[in-house]
Amino acid sequence: MAGRSSSRSVATGSRGAGRSIQAEPQVQPQVQLQVQPQAQPQEINLRPRAAHIVLNMLNDPTFTDMTVFVGSEKKVFKLHRAVICIFSDFFKCAIGPGNFREASSGVIELPEVDHIAFSKAVDWMYGGDYTWFDSHNGWDVPAFEVANFLQLQNMRKAILNAIAASPQQIMASASKEFLEQYVSNFAKVCEFCNKSDLEDLESCARTIIPHWKVTREEIYDGLLEGKYGNTFVAAFLGAQKPALPRDIYANDLPPRN
């Protein structure tokens, strides 16, 4: 049995000796690479951080370059030109090129300005806001007067928006005395406004109208006494119309035959 197996192995070897044996190509296993999607850079919103920095600048007078004395008490405000000149056209002109006294000394005196109202304007310029709570506490008139004096156009609009945003549930439950005072404050704000403010003033009037119970005799007396000016009247008349685009107002009357 052993010899037979040996001869078979030799015979097989002899048969294959005359020809070349071609090895089959070895198949390499395919490796699938999983490409990870490239992460997109996340956009970083720097606005909250920038606002926080500017607000902290107000609390740290180390690098201020402007001193403002406000009111008869000469309340001292340490401010930054780079901040106040961005928002206030008054400061931009007062300490801008050509005004060498204030620009070189870095000092401005505002004896006719209420220092508490001025502080609200400063807070607003440094990133604060004007809300209905300010309006509810009766700060509309002095704050709007200061905003008008400093030519803070966006703050003027913020105050009017706060008046227009008065919560209806509070207005509905307010006493007659509160509403009378509220309307009186609004009438005084109107004294600092012009034609370009009418759209915002009409929004304020629409907030007041449903809750202000007033007779025509009271309106008449108020006009005679000077409590209600032309801008106030125009705002309330405009508020009686639907809130439509201005160009429609001029064409909303029927044609004459």
Task: Inform me whether the pLDDT recorded for 11 exceeds 50.
Answer: no
Tens digit of pLDDT for each residue in 43-90? 544 445 566 667 677 777 788 889 999 999 999 999 999 899 989 999
Q: How far is CA 82 from CA 46, 78, 124, 128, in A?
A: 19, 13, 15, 17
pLDDT of residue 99: 74
Amino acid at 125: M
Could you count the other beta carbons within 10 Å of the beta carbon of residue 115?
19
What does pTM read for this prediction?
0.69
DSSP code of residue 163: H
CA-CA-CA-CA torsion sign (96, 106, 100, 73): positive
pLDDT at 38: 59
pLDDT confidence of residue 63: 84
Of 53-62, 87-96, 141-150, the poorest mean pLDDT is in: 53-62
Those residues with Cβ within 8 angstroms of residue 194's Cβ, 6 or more apart along the chain or in another chain: 231
Strands (E), the chain: 66-70, 75-79, 107-110
Quote the pLDDT of residue 229. Answer: 94
